[in-house]
Amino acid sequence: MISVKGLGDEIFEAMMSKAQQDIKEKIISAAAQGQTSCTVRSRGTTPSFLLALEDEGILNIKRRDGSVRLFWQF
């Protein structure tokens, strides 16, 4: 059995960073197509990340199915 110690937090942070980058790319793609909202289902939608998006003018609504609706104005 292989045992690796000390990488758990780094792996989690890398996965979270990737998930949040994917959300940002989805927002940029939707905005580039003239849309003012998109729906995401991701573990990257942490409270602190959603607050940071709100600071940038992107609001959110949590949906019953676990997804998050992100919306903005131009």
**31-65, pLDDT tens digit by residue?**
999 999 999 999 999 999 999 999 999 999 999 99
Please, are residues 44 and 23 in contact by the beta-carbon 8 Å criterion? yes
The pLDDT of residue 58 is 98
The pLDDT of residue 7 is 63
The pLDDT of residue 12 is 86
* Structural domain boundaries in the chain: 8-71
- Backbone phi and psi for residue 40, each to the nearest 5 degrees, phi listed first: -130, 150
Q: Is the pLDDT of residue 72 over 70?
A: yes
Percent of the chain with pLDDT strictly greater than 70: 91
Distance CA 43, CA 16 (A): 7
